[in-house]
Amino acid sequence: MKKGLVLGIYEAEDENNISLTPTAINYDELVKGKLRQNIFLAGPKIPKGHARVFWGLDEKDYAGIAVVGLGKKNLGINQLEEIHEGKENIRIAAAAGCRALDAVEIKDIQLEALGDAEAAAEGAALSMWFYQGLKNKEKQKILPKVSLYGQEGEEQWRIGSIKAQAQNWARHLADTPANLMTPTIFSTEVHTVLTKLGITVQIHNEEWAEQKKMGSFLSVSHGSCEPPKFIEIHYKNADNSQPIVFIGKGVTFDAGGISLKPSADMDEMRADMSGAACVVAAIRAAAELKLKLNIIGLIPLTENLPSGTATKPGDVVIAMNGKSIIVDNTDAEGRLILADALCYAQEFNPSFILDIATLTGAMRIALGGAATGVFTNNSTLFEKLKNAGTLSGDRVWRFPLWQHFTDEMTKKVKSADVRNVAKIKGGGSCTAAAFLREFVSNNTPWLHLDIAGVMGPGPDKLPYIPAGMTGRPTRTLIQFLQALC
């Protein structure tokens, strides 16, 4: 098998000069200056995020050498863009170098740290994996093996690989067709993966949810013959500290119920459990990184389909906290299953609750694929999450959680305590968050992440994630958990 190597080059102030990374300088000395010579021959300027492949420099170890543009040296956080440009440039460059070698059939790739081994590992691992599912094995693309060149940054490379592999698992869960990722199958896979890491996983059935009086959650499942499940995950690695609760929306297929969605692109609704996928992936990474935290994951799982037994527009259901909900639109189902999960979360006396969901099309309109929308009653937690997004390259943006939106969901309702959709036009993501707020006690810190814009399918705003469901913002969640340790 041919071997290849990825090395970095910075943007030089003088166009007639080149500025190699220290590792690339060392390699150039090994090949007696051939690397510099070939770069000059080809034209010294290699743009940021681009790669150029050179052959015949190294007759002993590497068939091809990809040199990737890293942009300017020593870049940090761009305050306006709210992103660490240096780390992001490295992710993009790592992906470009690996793709360039893969395109010329080099499947054993070594990648230098490029100044940040964690970011390099993330860019490489995310860019080299994509969902191939049940495609004929003979026709499946052989994915390259990527490893670190040298010993500099081995621990950081390990951390970046864990984060990227967690996100790739979330991508796998989200992109798997709905008939192959039912609530039962999802539960089984999560149990198999997480219990191997010493994490406790309980899979609750419909009868358990009935005993808990989760009428809001169960109302969504009435249209499907697939039984709903409710996963409860316990990761414990801190003595007697209050747990963090992560809640992920797990609608494994969303046709909209009786309020049927348009048929165009309805297949994408296989990924309406992306919130659930991000939660289980983040907890997996927390265990692999041995984070000193106690985390509880709650995943309500169901399909949302139309049938003779499905919930109808205008029906009233009762949530776990006793509040009555008039279901004006059965396609606003994510908030219904999250409502009961939020109520149940408070039984654990958490330090805070974070829920994550592909909740509203309005969020996709507002932010596109640029960032995750966040609603919260705690500014300190938001700043930590925002900083995590700045470092991970997968950003978040805060939206208002004002009484104005709560009034639209509660004060104008005559026959129930709250409605599941507002009657006004506009502000759909804000009124959805206001609905969820009705199921969180006032003294509990809480974050709600709406990921409808970033779920995919790509190609999206991150050039190191191939087309398909994205698994975003898994790495931001992991970075956030690291900041809490």
Q: What is the per-residue DSSP string for 222-258?
A: TT-SSPPEEEEEEEE-SSSPPPEEEEE-EEEEE--TT
Q: Same domain, yes or no, for 170 and 47?
A: no
Q: Which two tokens stand for residue 237?
A: 């690695």
Q: How many domains does the chain have?
A: 2
Report pLDDT for 462. 80
Q: Same domain, yes or no, for 351 and 462?
A: yes
Q: Which of 128, 151, 186 is the last residue of a domain?
A: 128
Q: Same domain, yes or no, for 42 and 186?
A: no
Report pLDDT for 461. 64
3-state secondary structure of 326: strand
Report pLDDT for 50. 97
Q: Which of 335, 395, 472, 475 is catalytic?
A: 335
The letter for the amino acid at 352 is F
Q: Same domain, yes or no, for 169 and 66?
A: no
Q: Which of 112, 128, 144 is the last residue of a domain?
A: 128
Q: Which two tokens stand for residue 124?
A: 């490489």
Q: Establish whether 437 is a catalytic residue.
A: no
d(CA 152, CA 118): 11
Among residues 433, 416, 230, 462, the alpha carbon closest in space to that of 315 is found at 416
Q: Which of 3, 158, 261, 398 is catalytic?
A: 261
Among residues 406, 474, 400, the alpha carbon closest in space to that of 434 is found at 406
Q: Which of 82, 113, 128 is the last residue of a domain?
A: 128
Q: Same domain, yes or no, for 90 and 215?
A: no
Half-sphere exposure of 8 (CA within 13 A, CB side): 28
How far out from the chain centre does Cα 240 lie? Answer: 29
Q: Same domain, yes or no, for 302 and 366?
A: yes
Residue 142 is assigned to a structural domain of this protein: no
Residue 153 is assigned to a structural domain of this protein: no
Q: Same domain, yes or no, for 187 and 277?
A: yes
Residue 154 is assigned to a structural domain of this protein: no
Residue 70 is assigned to a structural domain of this protein: yes
Report pLDDT for 339. 98
Residue 97 is assigned to a structural domain of this protein: yes
Q: Same domain, yes or no, for 123 and 170?
A: no
Check which CATH number belongs to the domain holding 195 and give it: 3.40.630.10
Q: Same domain, yes or no, for 85 and 227?
A: no
Half-sphere exposure of 401 (CA within 13 A, CB side): 23
| DSSP states along 26-39 | HHHHHTTTHHHHHH
Range of the domain at 28: 3-128
Q: Same domain, yes or no, for 396 and 479?
A: yes
Q: Same domain, yes or no, for 110 and 239?
A: no
Report pLDDT for 13. 80
Residue 255 is assigned to a structural domain of this protein: yes
pTM: 0.98
3-state secondary structure of 480: helix
Residue 373 is assigned to a structural domain of this protein: yes
Q: Which residues of 149-165 are buried (b: 16+ CB within 10 A; e: fewer)?
A: beeebeebbbbbbbbbb
Q: Same domain, yes or no, for 314 and 183?
A: yes
Residues pairing with 251 in the sheet: 302
Q: Establish whether 335 is a catalytic residue.
A: yes
pLDDT in tens, the chain (485 residues): 899 999 999 998 877 788 999 999 999 999 999 999 999 999 878 999 999 999 999 888 999 999 999 999 999 999 999 999 999 999 999 999 999 999 999 999 999 999 999 999 999 999 999 999 999 999 999 999 999 999 899 999 999 999 999 999 999 999 999 999 999 999 999 999 999 999 999 999 999 999 999 999 999 999 999 999 999 999 999 988 999 999 999 999 999 999 999 999 999 999 999 999 999 999 999 999 999 999 999 999 999 999 999 999 999 999 999 999 999 999 999 999 999 999 999 999 999 999 999 999 999 999 999 999 999 999 999 999 999 999 999 999 999 999 999 999 999 899 999 999 999 999 999 999 999 999 999 999 999 999 999 999 865 568 899 989 999 999 999 999 999 99
Among residues 32, 105, 107, 34, the alpha carbon closest in space to that of 67 is found at 34
d(CA 142, CA 463): 21
Residue 146 is assigned to a structural domain of this protein: no
